[in-house]
Structure 1
Amino acid sequence: MMQTTAVFEPTGSTSTLPQIIQGGMGVGISHWGLARAVSGVGQLGIVSCTGIDNVLVRRLQDGDSGGHVRRALAAYPNQERVEKVLRMYFLPAGREPGQAYRRVPLPTVTKHGAAWELGVMGSFVEVFLAREGHDNPVGVNLLTKLQLHTVPALYGSMLAGADVVIMGAGIPREIPGVLDAFAAGGPASIKLDVKGGDAVTLTFDPAEYGLERRELKRPKFYPIVTSHILAGVLMKKASGSVEGFVIEGPTAGGHNAPPRGQPTFDEIGQPVYGERDIADLDEMKKLGLPFWLAGSRATPEALAEALERGAAGIQVGTLFAYCADSGLRDDLRQRVHGLTKEGGVDVYTDPLASPTGFPFKVVQVDGTLARPELYAERPRVCDIGYLREAYAGEDGKTGLRCAAEPVDAYVSKGGKVEDTVGRKCLCNALMTDAGYAQVQKGGYVEDSLITSGDSLNDIAAWPRGYRAEDVVEYLLGRYQPGA
């Protein structure tokens, strides 16, 4: 295979822009191995730092195969804190069959220190490992809606030298200011939205976690937007500088932005998107910042079209998610890949699945929570809690609730019972996708729920076991699947 010419110069020098950004997918799917493979051949690899506190401790409890986590933690600035985490979570021989993972303490609005420290360490580990073996930039992806978990993950990423931050699933106005504050060596704060009450300020101070306050490299910030209007708002009203945008269409996997205007649905209940949901690229060019197009763009022709229309390139998710370098559980990868070759598999834009209320792409695969009978059999439990919303209680205190938690618990917190219908525990399901399925009380093992973009069936043309480098070569017009 031909060697890919690097698009980036080494970190810290004047660089050009990547033509390909690898998507930051799921929990542990865009892990350090995938990001390192993509960045290593000159494009922009992205690690997902969603759920990174639990990913860290579950890897340790599975024995840390290859010693990668411990190698990265050996470079963490506070070794006393590292030793404490290793004593608590590391199992040299892994878990016993049927043994549950030890959980990260479920954070609250006021008590989140343990989860935050593990979030810093987990993000540090992920970026550290992704940057090994090459001098090209590495980025991180976070979900804006996960406000309670954002600032520690950003700090850990910057501590390890992240070059780019990409965030969607919300409007990340405050993030540039957080990056500026951490780069200057100080603490940083964001607001936690509270339904029915005033926002609560969340502040991360590295000194409170045994870390010396010091200046850090400020990564570039590329928010994910759906329109030129939102991009313009962020340029004017964000708390600091924005260096570019990822423009994501409704065919992309994971969470999609709701359609603009009054929602309408097709004959099977999917939200219908129209012209108003497509970004005006001519207007985007007027903003003067680089942008990348995402959502069913994984072809050389789509890359060429994006460049012709003024984009810096494309962001690609699904094609990378099913390559052998991703963190997707191999049996799930093989099953879905096989279905695409046997006539195809449906991807359903589910308006109910996510507790956030955002539409969420679900691959319709037997043996997963996409099947109503398996969803109905799952005992409702909220033991990870990333997608909980903050709400103002009748007692004046701020609580947290999730529409996928036990119905009685949700209603007791002021939630509406109708909002619980069809909601799925994405936190546990996405952990399962990456091979970290929790064993719940009574022996129930969490099932998977797979998300992919609408172009999923395009992977039918690809050989089993294809690699991230093959995807890069293909998109640059230097490789054909099966050739």
Structure 2
Amino acid sequence: MSNPVLPQPLPQIIQGGMGVAISDWRLARAVATAGQLGIVSGTGIDSLLTRRLQDGDPDGSTRRALAQFPNPELAQRALDTYFLEGGRAEGQPYKRVPLPSVGRLNPAWELAIVGGFVETWLAKEGHAGQVGMNLLTKLQMHTIPPLLGAMLAGVDFVIMGAGIPRDIPAVLDNFAQGQPGSIRLDVKGEPTDQATRLTLNPADYGLDLGSLGLSELKRPNFLPIITSHVLAQTLARKASGSVEGFVIEAPTAGGHNAPPRGKMQLDELGQPIYGERDLADLQQMRDLGLPFWLAGGSGSPEGFQQALSEGAAGIQVGTLFAYCTDSGMDDGLRREALRQIKDGAGLRTDPLASPTGFPFKVVQLSHTLANPQLYAERTRICDIGYLREAYWEEGAGKDGQGKVGLRCASEPIETYVRKGGSLEATVGRKCLCNGLMADAGFPQLQKGGELEKPLLTSGDDVIKLAHWQDRFTAADVIGYLLGQWRPVGEETATAAQSGDALPQVPSMAGHL
């Protein structure tokens, strides 16, 4: 099999892969049809699929994509189990996807394969633009099924960060040939003579290439998200297959950030302190000879031009796209967030919020779990489980050989401690799974009528939105980055600062 061929010309703008449906198919399609690289998120795709079906799939898009899934039996099983004509009744919680374990991966994996296909198929429907999928390396239990689904739908790129995705190129190679894909599962405390692997065989899901009448699937281009040129060099030379380029992420990017190199030091607000050691050497990146895109703090015309002058192929931008009307963010949350940002709401890099141990940027909105009082009032529960860590339970398996268990620092404290976790690790941890589902408009109704609250993440560029109008599209964002459109509010702010009147340029909203 030959290596994938990068499209020419390369996309200059990659839309960020904001997790759990903020980067949904509608946003990715809007960006791709504008000639740039649209990205769908594969994170939480099984729950996203099932919750859309339980809300009645009002526009029929999910069912339209399901009708194209290569194995109709799997698509029909998802419909039979989760679809509710007209949506849930008032006060009815979402039916959950059963949490997978190492010994029982289905139905979660089956639904994630189907969900990855649906999201990618819809993003690619009706145009010839480029679409990619973003996943978090840390979410090892939930990584390879969406990749298979996306490849069945012809995904063009795969982008992965939050860890070292060394095994992924080989998974893409194998899936392209209809062969099983496998990754090493990091298990805390696992004996050195053990090596737990997670393997997905397409044939087990009736998706072998022979039954589909195919000789191979398109192997997507793989772009790891890295913060260090050293990691880029390692992946370029020692990954399990080909790497076609890199996204270089600065600490100003939203979502999960890589921890600072060296000993963790915090500023007066309790945020990690980053320095020169945490920035990639761009000369070293240029010497690698592979294309790269800059992410984090590049979301402006000036940042775009600066990236090109540094030899980058372009930039990746998340925050501006997250707040556009094409994104999957709940519209009420979007409007309230923009209002509070205009009123001075800040952004904090929280070293504790994420159960992964990675720093996580959180917009400080009063009606979300960023509010310490609302966080304290929430009943702890782990009912989605994407961020659970694997650990070794000595003597717990058959014949006392031990087995792999799963735990999350955001689950009930007594449960986590009983599984061998430390009490200190639970302090300040937030349920990102439920919070991010709520961001996209799919909050779970828990026992006792407790509706899960959002927890919104953004990059440092969110501050500039204080000067933007309330509604703008993905096409507006692209026009802004290319110097072809100026936000009305930003122009007004700039004019007020300079004393010069700038012409008002109307938004393109409503003209797509």
- Tell me the TM-score range normalised by the shorter chain: over 0.9
- Residues of 2 paired with 1:426 and 1:335: CA distance? 20
Instruction: For 1:41-440, list aligned pairs within 5 A.
Output: 41-197=34-190, 198-213=194-209, 214=214, 215-342=216-343, 344-395=344-395, 396-440=402-446
- Residues of 2 paired with 1:202 and 1:340: CA distance? 42
Counterpart of 1:34 (choices 27, 30, 38) is 27
TM-score by length of 2: 0.91
Q: CA deviation at 1:136?
A: 1.1
Q: CA deviation at 1:199?
A: 3.4
The equivalent of 2:500 in structure 1 is: none
Q: Counterpart amino acid of 2:381?
A: V
TM-superposition CA deviations, 1:72-112 (whole Å, max 9, x none): 00000111221121111000110111111001011001101
The equivalent of 2:448 in structure 1 is: 442
- Residues of 2 paired with 1:421 and 1:339: CA distance? 27
* Paired residues of 1:40 and 1:133 also in contact (CA < 8 A): no
Q: Counterpart amino acid of 1:404?
A: S
Q: CA deviation at 1:212?
A: 2.6
Q: Counterpart amino acid of 1:398?
A: V
TM-superposition CA deviations, 1:414-448 (whole Å, max 9, x none): 11011000101100110000001001111111111
1:113 partner SS: coil
Rg (Cα) greater in structure: 2
1:65 partner SS: coil
The equivalent of 2:508 in structure 1 is: none
TM-score by length of 1: 0.96
Instruction: For 1:13-32, list aligned pairs within 5 A.
Output: 15-32=8-25
Q: Counterpart amino acid of 1:391?
A: Y
Identity of aligned residues (%): 64
- Residues of 1 paired with 2:73 and 2:160: CA distance? 32
- Residues of 2 paired with 1:169 and 1:439: CA distance? 29
TM-superposition CA deviations, 1:102-125 (whole Å, max 9, x none): 010110011012000100010100
Q: Counterpart amino acid of 2:28?
A: A
* Paired residues of 1:28 and 1:48 also in contact (CA < 8 A): yes
- Residues of 1 paired with 2:340 and 2:409: CA distance? 32
- Residues of 1 paired with 2:7 and 2:297: CA distance? 31
The equivalent of 1:471 in structure 2 is: 477
- Residues of 2 paired with 1:12 and 1:223: CA distance? 16
| Distance change (3 Å), C-alpha of 1:222 and 1:13 | closer
Q: CA deviation at 1:20?
A: 0.3
1:28 partner SS: coil
Q: Counterpart amino acid of 1:46?
A: I
- Residues of 2 paired with 1:346 and 1:57: CA distance? 34
Q: Counterpart amino acid of 2:316?
A: Q
* Paired residues of 1:22 and 1:315 also in contact (CA < 8 A): yes
Q: CA deviation at 1:15?
A: 2.2
- Residues of 1 paired with 2:77 and 2:119: CA distance? 19
Q: CA deviation at 1:341?
A: 2.5
- Residues of 1 paired with 2:40 and 2:178: CA distance? 24
* Paired residues of 1:177 and 1:240 also in contact (CA < 8 A): yes
Q: Counterpart amino acid of 2:361?
A: K
- Residues of 2 paired with 1:80 and 1:190: CA distance? 27
1:473 partner SS: helix
The number of residue pairs the alignment matches comes to 472
| Distance change (3 Å), C-alpha of 1:14 and 1:62 | closer
1:437 partner SS: coil
- Residues of 2 paired with 1:421 and 1:357: CA distance? 12
1:190 partner SS: strand
Q: Unpaired runs of 5+ in structure 1?
A: 1-10
Q: Counterpart amino acid of 2:439?
A: D
* Paired residues of 2:24 and 2:328 also in contact (CA < 8 A): yes
Q: CA deviation at 1:13?
A: 9.0
- Residues of 2 paired with 1:444 and 1:247: CA distance? 40
| Distance change (3 Å), C-alpha of 1:14 and 1:420 | closer
Q: Unpaired runs of 5+ in structure 2?
A: 396-401, 489-504, 506-512
- Residues of 2 paired with 1:288 and 1:81: CA distance? 43
**Stretch of structure 1 that moved more, 388-397 or 333-342:** 333-342
Q: CA deviation at 1:340?
A: 2.6
The RMSD of aligned alpha carbons is: 1.2
Q: Counterpart amino acid of 1:221?
A: F
1:167 partner SS: strand
Counterpart of 1:459 (choices 442, 461, 465) is 465
